[in-house]
Structure 1
Amino acid sequence: MNETIQWNDWEAFCCVVEQGTFTAAAEQLDCPKSRVSAAVARLESAIGSKLLQRTTRRMRLTDAGSAVYRDVAPLFARLREIRQETLAREERVQGVLRIAAPYEFGAQQLGGVICRTLAAHPALDVKVEISQGMVDPIRDGFDVAFVAVDADLPDSGTVARRIYHVERGLFAAPALAAGLPLQLQPEDLANLPTLTTPGDGMWEFIRDGERVAVPIRPRMQTANAELRLQGALAGLGIARLSLIYCEAEVAQGRLVKVLPDYPPPPLRVFALLPDRRLQPQKVRVFMEAVEAMMASELQDRNDAAAPGP
């Protein structure tokens, strides 16, 4: 059979038979009438038989056309049924939503969103894996992967949506902070114990609007923010953690902020998704909930910063 025949040629032929005219078939397929005519002509040429007898007033199937339609039409009918069944499934919020997220962001920002989404959609299950560093949602099988980066996001074949800033600070136990120099500068950290993530050899700070990098001396390195927090509470070193993560400990006087005039640059959080357009309903619903959470937190910050009456 002629290899130039396209799959859509068969569908075009069936559509002409079902609609009764080439014009109606073109409207149904949302394509030019000339394309439908060309499709039927390719089939007739490849098969070596006339499929349709056409006059100015009417059109009818030939014997060969009847045989082809009888064999092929049920296949396209079933394909249309499968498409409708698939669309119906995708419109329901169901199945397993697989999420990867850094520990702090997952616990502090995503926890409430995930719980509300599960409560609103009983047919949905969520699987969350704690991740560190870059995650490839396609390779690793996630529907959404959240990554937190200091600098620019590396190029990848996934869809990246910037969604959040995580404000950070340096924290230490009061006893350790009491022994620090009165005029502590970021450069002094080179001679002080710090609690860091693996691979950290430098910390950046914002000074006079510019980023300044200083070397540090890690005493403990772990991707687990809870371990760094516990180390700071035990007076083992100065930890760089998100502000919201240390909020309760600071309020209770168990931690104090170090170098408050030299904030570290915030972490930028991105949501990585395998596809921009063809997202399952479970992903769309979850991302809408994340965006609503972001908008609510932004409004709360603006309200808190607004001057009183």
Structure 2
Amino acid sequence: MSSANETIQWNDWEAFCSVVEYGTFTAAAEQLECPKSRVSAAVARLEDAIGAKLLERTTRRMRLTDAGSAVYRDVAPLFARLREIRQETLAREERVQGVLRIATPYEFGAQQLGGVICRTLAAYPELDVSVETAQGLVDPIRDGFDIAFVAVDADLPDSGTVARRIYHVERGLFAAPALAATLPQAAVPEQLANLPVLTTPGDTVWEFTYAGERVSVPIHPRMQTFNAELRLQGALAGLGIVRLALHYCEAEVAQGRLVRVLPEFTPPPLRVFALLPDRRLQPRKVRAFMEEVESMLAAHEQAGIAIC
């Protein structure tokens, strides 16, 4: 038997209202998806806490007492409104609306996400998109993003986010023909340390696979920028060796403005991940955008187009 001063549980009120609305403890238990014994215990606990009988039960019928009628009259509208709020929330979540906040590296956002964003906005008039350029690792939970795209050439650190790999990009070393002509024919890692290079900020070491082994080579950059286009322009001007995606340099290589150099030095691929705050309860706007991303990737794969 529950004590008179036992704290009433929220579910006890719901169980009582369900019994009244569905007519029997059995029907209420089915609606609440719990054992009948739990519903009976909830009503008994409520009666003990209130200190009044709420339901008169016989083998043939059940009816509300005066106290039960008063309690039901006061409490039932609250649960009805909660059910309405739940349905309204579900309806909102199934509509693609609100503001979708995205973080992305500059090149990926400009070259790949632009079309995805435009198609998503055209398909969902109630959706707005806010895109912020961000380099390095971004924590979507801490920084308040719905989706954060990150590009890494190493393993992602453990975090509370969900990481979905979008693709990986093969890279190589490129230089202007005049600079390439001055490079050693059979370079070794130590020699690369003395050559002019164009890198992203913070780069002090380049990793390579060389002669079947992973090697680290210290570098001394002449230019540092996250903007791949600026690094490409520096390479075209003969200022140094640049490490870029193979397909990003295809046009310049085809025109003879750049040549691939030191092919025996194989950089690790650049991998792009989408970081999402939650695995299960993703808002419809996030799912809709990621579906567009998947469609883009599928279209590129079917066409045999490499993705930057």
**How does the TM-score come out when normalised to structure 1?**
0.91
| Counterpart contact for 1:108–1:244, Cα < 8 Å | no
Q: Which sits farther off after the overlay, 114-123 or 271-280?
A: 114-123
Q: Which sits farther off after the overlay, 77-86 or 176-185?
A: 176-185
Distance 1:5 1:246 in 2: 69
Percentage of pairs with the same residue = 84
Distance 1:24 1:124 in 2: 42
| CA deviation map 1:163-205 (0-9, x unaligned) | 2112222222222222222223443220111111122111111
Counterpart secondary structure, 2:29: helix
From 42, 46, 51, give the equivalent of 2:45: 42
Deviation at 1:2, TM superposition (A): 4.3
Distance 1:70 1:173 in 2: 83
| Counterpart contact for 1:189–1:217, Cα < 8 Å | no
| Counterpart contact for 2:95–2:284, Cα < 8 Å | yes
Deviation at 1:74, TM superposition (A): 0.8
The residue number in structure 2 matching 1:119 is: 122
Distance 1:243 1:117 in 2: 29
From 79, 83, 94, give the equivalent of 1:76: 79
Deviation at 1:160, TM superposition (A): 1.6
Instruction: Please tell me whether residue 28 in structure 1 is matched to residue 38 in structure 2.
Output: no
| Counterpart contact for 2:166–2:272, Cα < 8 Å | yes
Deviation at 1:67, TM superposition (A): 1.1
Q: How does 1:70-149 map to 2 (within 5 A)?
A: 70-149=73-152
Distance 1:287 1:24 in 2: 41
Instruction: Please tell me whether residue 217 in structure 1 is matched to residue 223 in structure 2.
Output: no
| Counterpart contact for 2:98–2:128, Cα < 8 Å | yes
Distance 1:205 1:139 in 2: 33
- The AA in structure 2 aligned to 1:59 is M
The residue number in structure 2 matching 1:306 is: none
The residue number in structure 1 matching 2:229 is: 226
Distance 1:126 1:176 in 2: 43
| Counterpart contact for 2:211–2:264, Cα < 8 Å | no
CA RMSD of aligned residues (A): 2.0
Distance 1:221 1:51 in 2: 76
The residue number in structure 2 matching 1:243 is: 246
Structure 2 CA distance for partners of 1:111 and 1:244, relative to 1, 3 Å: farther
Distance 1:21 1:209 in 2: 74
Counterpart secondary structure, 2:99: strand
Instruction: Please tell me whether residue 187 in structure 1 is matched to residue 190 in structure 2.
Output: yes
- The AA in structure 1 aligned to 2:282 is Q
Q: Which sits farther off after the overlay, 248-257 or 192-201?
A: 248-257
Structure 2 CA distance for partners of 1:256 and 1:115, relative to 1, 3 Å: farther
| Counterpart contact for 1:185–1:259, Cα < 8 Å | no
Counterpart secondary structure, 1:191: coil
Gaps of 5+ in 2: none
Structure 2 CA distance for partners of 1:37 and 1:251, relative to 1, 3 Å: farther
- The AA in structure 1 aligned to 2:61 is R
- The AA in structure 2 aligned to 1:6 is Q
Distance 1:276 1:110 in 2: 22
The size of the alignment, in residue pairs, is: 303
Deviation at 1:83, TM superposition (A): 1.1
Counterpart secondary structure, 2:183: coil
From 286, 289, 300, give the equivalent of 1:286: 289
Structure 2 CA distance for partners of 1:195 and 1:136, relative to 1, 3 Å: same
The residue number in structure 2 matching 1:166 is: 169
Instruction: Please tell me whether residue 254 in structure 1 is matched to residue 257 in structure 2.
Output: yes
